[in-house]
Amino acid sequence: MAGSRERPSPAARDNRWKLVETTLRRHGHRAHSLIEALHAAQEAYGYLDTDVLGRLAGDLRLPLSKVYGVATFYNFFSLEPQGEHSCVICTGTACYIKGAGAIMAALEADGLKAGETSADGQVSVLTARCFGSCGLAPAAVMDGDVLGRLTPDDVLGRVRQWRTHDA
């Protein structure tokens, strides 16, 4: 039918999608490449919005519910924009016993809650069940660096440094 061209999704018009498309092509647009594709999309966009998840589902010929389920199962993926800096606190058994709860309490007392980004957009605080770094308990990943044997003051010091230097 004339004039009934399909309207491209926002992700299709975005040059960042080309980065994701490269990953999809490398894996032959096969369903088993979903996690690689999610990583590529998150790296390109910073987080995974519904347009990107829908586009991945279409390109990989997977139900959107499966793509969404995988994206929400792994804590490495985010469905919301993240802050300039990230602080992921391990809450696995070893970390919890060695003080992860005290670290989380200190962050909350400073106005930062798990799963949220600070009002100034500087810091996102997340939790993870286990990093596999139990010998370093309590551990955190701060801007991609795994740090261990942390105290609440260590974590708060670094977070406050981010907030004052980037302000």
Q: Is the pTM of this model over 0.95?
A: no
**Pair of tokens at residue 16:** 């960042």
For the stretch 74-106, pLDDT in tens is 877 889 888 999 999 999 999 999 999 999 999
**Pair of tokens at residue 89:** 């606190």
CA distance 63 to 57: 6
For the stretch 29-88, pLDDT in tens is 999 999 999 999 999 988 999 999 999 999 999 999 999 999 999 877 889 888 999 999
Backbone dihedral region of 60: left (phi > 0), alpha (psi from -120 to 50 degrees) or beta? alpha
